[in-house]
Amino acid sequence: MEKADQRMDEIIGRLLQGGVILAAAFVLTGGAVFLARHPTPVTNYRVFQGEPEELRTVSGIFHAALALRGRGLIQLGLLILIATPIVRVAFSVVAFLYQRDWTYVVVTLIVLGLLVYSLLGGHG
């Protein structure tokens, strides 16, 4: 069991690192496009207005990114970043299933459910 845990930890660590690198690459690319097209003026961040629909939902972000809009690409990178811990939890469900550790299969499924609800739940 200890050895299986160790191996699982290592795979999870690599997974997270890969996710961060991929996310950073998208954010960097999107940032370059954004800066090339929006030299002026600076967005006003003093007063909170919130983001437009296309930068707030998963489907909207994919649309904006596929259209190669800078802000859409950045947002897709951030979405990948938010997804890395979620994928990690999903991976843990499988690992605990493999170990037939039913208590922790349930525990990780609860955490996974909460995370998916957070991302897709549609909040006001």
Partner 1 sequence: MNTLEFTALIGLGALLAGFLGALTGLGGGVVIVPLLTVIFHVDIHYAIGAALVSVIATSSGAAAAYVREGYSNVRVGMFLEIATTVGALAGAALILYLRVSILSVIFGVVLLYSAYASLTEHSDSKKAVEPDRIGTWLKMDSTYPGAHGMESYHVRGVPQGFALMFVAGVLSGLLGIGSGAVKVLAMDRAMKLPFKVSTTTSNFMIGVTAAAGAGVYLSRGYIDPGLSMPVMLGVLAGSLIGARVLAVAKVKVLRLVFGGVIAVLAVEMIYNGLK
Does residue 100 belong to the site contacting partner 1 (CB under 8 A)?
no
Does residue 104 belong to the site contacting partner 1 (CB under 8 A)?
yes
> Using CB under 8 A, which of 12, 90, 91, 97 touches partner 1?
12
Does residue 4 belong to the site contacting partner 1 (CB under 8 A)?
no
Q: How far apart are the first and last CA of the chain?
A: 44
Phi-psi region of 38 (alpha: psi -120 to 50; beta: other; left: phi over 0): beta
Q: Taking the complex as a whole, how short is the minimal distance between the CB of residue 97 and partner 1, in angstroms?
A: 13
Does residue 94 belong to the site contacting partner 1 (CB under 8 A)?
no
Amino acid at 117: Y
Does residue 59 belong to the site contacting partner 1 (CB under 8 A)?
no
> Using CB under 8 A, which of 67, 68, 90, 107 touches partner 1?
107
CA distance 84 to 115: 11
CA distance 10 to 5: 9
